[in-house]
Amino acid sequence: MSEIVLKTSALRKQYRRVTALEGLDLEIERGMIFGLLGPNGSGKTTTLGMLLNVLKPTSGSYEWFGQTPRAELRRNIGAILEHPCFYPYMSAYQNLQVAAEIKETSHDRIDKVLDLVGLYERRHDAFKTYSLGMKQRLAIASALISDPEVLILDEPTNGLDPKGIVQIRQLITDIARMGKTIILASHLLDEVQKVCTHFMVLQKGKKLYQGSVGEALDGQSVIEIASEDMSALRSYLEERFGSSNISSTTSYIEIKQSGDINPAALNVQLYQSGISLTHLVKRGGSLEQEFLKILDEHE
pLDDT at 41 over 60: yes
Q: Are residues 41 and 185 in the same domain?
A: yes
pLDDT at 260 over 70: no
Domain assignment of residue 187, given as a range: 4-217
Query: Is 257 buried (19+), middle (13-18) or exposed (0-12) by CB count in 10 A?
Result: middle
Domain boundary residue, one of 190, 217, 244 = 217
Residue 229 lies in a domain: yes
Residue 285 phi/psi, 5-degree rounding, is -80, 175
Per-range mean pLDDT, top range of 166-175, 208-217, 280-289: 166-175
Whole-model pTM: value is 0.80
Q: Are residues 98 and 233 in the same domain?
A: no
Residue 59 has a pLDDT of 95
Q: Which residues contact 65 (CB under 8 A, 6 or more apart)?
A: 5, 73, 76, 149
Residue 143 has a pLDDT of 94
Whole-angstrom Cα distance, residue 293 to residue 299? 10
Q: Which residues contact 73 (CB under 8 A, 6 or more apart)?
A: 64, 65, 67
Q: Are residues 176 and 250 in the same domain?
A: no
Q: Are residues 209 and 244 in the same domain?
A: no
| 229 close to 271: Cβ distance less than 8 angstroms | no
Buried b (16+ CB within 10 A) or exposed e, 68-103: ebeeebeeebbbbbeebebeeeebbbbbbeebbeeb
CATH number, domain of 110, equals: 3.40.50.300
pLDDT confidence of 1, banded at 50, 70, 90?
very low
**How much is the average pLDDT of 104-117?**
94
Count of domains for the chain: 2
Query: In this predicted model, what pLDDT tens digit does every residue of 197-220 receive, in sequence order?
Result: 999 999 999 999 898 888 777 766
Which stretches of the chain are DSSP H helices?
44-51, 71-74, 92-102, 110-116, 132-144, 162-177, 189-195, 213-218, 230-241, 263-272, 287-297
Number of residues in the chain: 299
Q: If you ran DSSP here, which 8-state letter would residue 219 be given?
A: T
**Residue 205, SS3 per DSSP:** coil
Residue 28 has a pLDDT of 95
pLDDT confidence of 258, banded at 50, 70, 90?
low
Q: Are residues 108 and 125 in the same domain?
A: yes
CB count, 10 Å around CB of 187?
Answer: 16
| Percentage of the chain lying above the pLDDT 90 cut | 56
